Amino acid sequence: MALPGAYSQYNNSKILTASPAELTLMLYDGAIKFCNIAIVAVEQKDIEKAHVNITKTERIVDYFRQTLDMSYPVAEDFERVYSYLGRRLVEANIKKDKEILEEVNQHLRSMRDTWKEVMQHSKQ
């Protein structure tokens, strides 16, 4: 049987040894996970759980926006996308709207999948 803190220690080790690209992938995974939890919470009318997880998703999206390297022209496009997703998350949180959350989650999944492909191609 695993020790109570073993999983937490494993995750901390994973984070500390991850490359910047892997950390970005982990953040996308986290945003998607929290958005999924929020969708289920909205369906179950668990307002507090929905709020907490929408807020977690917002924080990750905001982190992505704040850490963009604006010296690259493509960063402006990403800034617009992240700003849009942030606005939609605020709206979803106010309305507790499942459809908006599903839209945001679809964008996050697409961006995550693209990021993962870029990571795989850069290893070749």
Q: What's the rounded Cα separation, in Å, for the pair 124 and 122?
A: 5
Q: Where are the domains of the chain?
A: 20-123
Three-class HEC string of 107-121: HHHHHHHHHHHHHHH
Per-residue pLDDT tens digits for 23-51: 999 999 999 999 999 999 999 999 999 99
20-123 topology per CATH:
Four Helix Bundle (Hemerythrin (Met), subunit A) (1.20.120)
- 8 Å CB contact between 32 and 109: yes
pLDDT tens string 80-118: 999 999 999 999 999 999 999 999 999 999 999 999 999
Region of residue 45 (phi > 0: left; psi between -120 and 50: alpha; otherwise: beta)? left
15 pLDDT higher than 90: no
